[in-house]
Amino acid sequence: MPLLKEDLYTIDDIYALPDGERAELIDGHIYYMAPPSRKHQDISMELSSAIKDYIRSHSGKCKVYAAPFAVHLDEKTDTYVEPDISVICDPNKLDDKGCKGAPDWIIEIVSPSSKKMDYLIKLRKYSACGVKEYWIVDPEKDRIIVYNFTGDESINEYTLKDAVKAGIYEDLIIDFGSMDI
């Protein structure tokens, strides 16, 4: 839930939060984040490792980052997110504070407290800000939804037993059925 405040929040408000307090800022509204579950972390580690191994084995220039990792989606000071997994292929977007601009690929792993954020708010924001591909992995519903925001603007749905092709790469297929989740 966003905090109630007449004025909108900025990045400065996020950085002023007490140590250990995690929150995201979308269009000036602060959304606190609950700690992830063990299954959430298992999925995040498996996906991050698979993507990183692929990039490394193909001598790729993209970088993969797991949360917490700061993503400033645009030049405004009213949006700051920490996607579960971010893949950034333009090294000019990276600095010591995180990513300035839209990652090429974002994966969010749904938690009970993040459903509205992942399925609605972030979907709209990521599409509008130039993210090329967005995956919503929902362990509770045994579902993966893949949004391609380039070209055909496709939406595909899979289960956690399927092999899923990453759209930003020609030959990366992530086999969820073989993962230890």
Domains plus CATH for the chain? 34-67+82-178 (3.90.1570.10)
Give pLDDT tens digits for 153-172. 899 999 999 999 999 999 99
CB contact set of 133 (below 8 Å; sequence gap of 6+): 104, 105, 106, 146, 147, 148, 149, 150, 166, 167, 168
Q: Are strands 133-138 and 105-109 parallel, antiparallel or unpaired?
A: parallel
Q: Are 24 and 52 in contact (CB under 8 A)?
A: no
Give pLDDT tens digits for 15-62. 999 998 999 999 999 999 999 999 999 999 999 999 999 999 999 999
> DSSP H helical segments within 11-113, as ranges?
11-15, 38-57
